[in-house]
Structure 1
């Protein structure tokens, strides 16, 4: 038993080829090698410590993500005016900055998904197994619920009074507007994830250093700037679910389906685009 444990620790997250780490180069040389698609089911993962370690990393990352971002939103709502607080730009920076930091921290452990839509997109592109995808999504949602719960514990009255950071379609916009904003916003995010972590691109442009968490975090920032006035910006079903459960008011549930359907459609479109367009580009290694 001890020998098996030691072997598992040595091999770590590489024992099973669960995902392409988001923030690390995919190749060690200039030649591009297409990684084999992940199997649909990989039962052996369930006996590997690296599998559970990755799930814990996703839980903690999503917990911290909700904690910091919802606190930032609450600070904005409690202010007398946008000028006396961080403003919408500050909220967007909080979301984008936390994604940058957390993807950087967890990339080598779980792949740094922190978002069921990202996990779903990578699953459709066969970059991780169904077993791991489901486990990640469950841990992300649990982390989000706990993160929002801690924020409510700090400020019970203001939390309920100011909407708890829950995503809702804002007045003046239709459900169709909200769904479209979530689809396009998530497409931008997941498309950026695929582009920033593409093994073919890393091999072809090895002379250009790319730190994957940076463009991913910046994409989150830009999408928030564009869609906060429409839906409060979901593009992350776990973030929307955690805030809705802890806030637990009718208005948070009325259009909640939008914050699952929209991101999953956007992620599926990004995965399709990646497989059909990005991965299909011919590649010749440099001499």
Structure 2
């Protein structure tokens, strides 16, 4: 008797997709609930990011999941009774009996942008490629090009979508309150989408999107009652923009360092503290030693942001006073 061939093990991404499908079927995940992100899947299942991406792509192909801008991948409906493989969303006995729906046929630009936002938010802008987005959506790369001509345009659409997630609200009556509100709004956008600080880094070649331009318009309106010239208003806007941009890029670099090293900021400081102590022990940096000795100083980028914003606005207030006089 010939030896029995052992069954081929199921690919990890299919096993993960099956478990997430089970959670929907049992009600653990309801329509509108968010599926675990690719980062959460890599952590909980101990798999590579590409495997996590494939698992969510299977659910999208089945019509069970869809990307939601600013949210992630969410449940759209219970799984079909008989799944015939990726790309099949209907089987016999369902509406449209005997028909199959290709994910390419129903693909929209909004879905592409939402999937791209989730990918960039999770893995950074360097991970964003047209091929990677196509894999996430379970379609061919060429299918994406029917809606978006290339990565540059895709990033522009992503930036516009990100800027349109949360409205700025009415412009405050006082210019300082308005500039504070605008700066904190922009800071929050960058906190949700860290890659944007790099995508919007150019001042001479700004990203042309309606929602980004609406932010500029809002800030300029906040200064409408001041005696500043048009040139001074625009420069004021750009100075505050640059300030928020710089700290937000630092935020992104800090997060990348945490991911690359796998250690927290406190752990990193503990490991490097002997080196700093050795450098300062010669007494060559007395002023630096005086402000950092005793462990009383802990750098917090949020505190630094508020301190720097306040001092920037103090300077603008002085310019307004001088102009008024």
Mark yes or no: TM-score above 0.5. no
The answer to which structure, 1 or 2, has the higher relative contact order (CA under 8 A, 6+ apart) is 1
Q: Which has the higher helix share?
A: 1
Larger Rg: 2
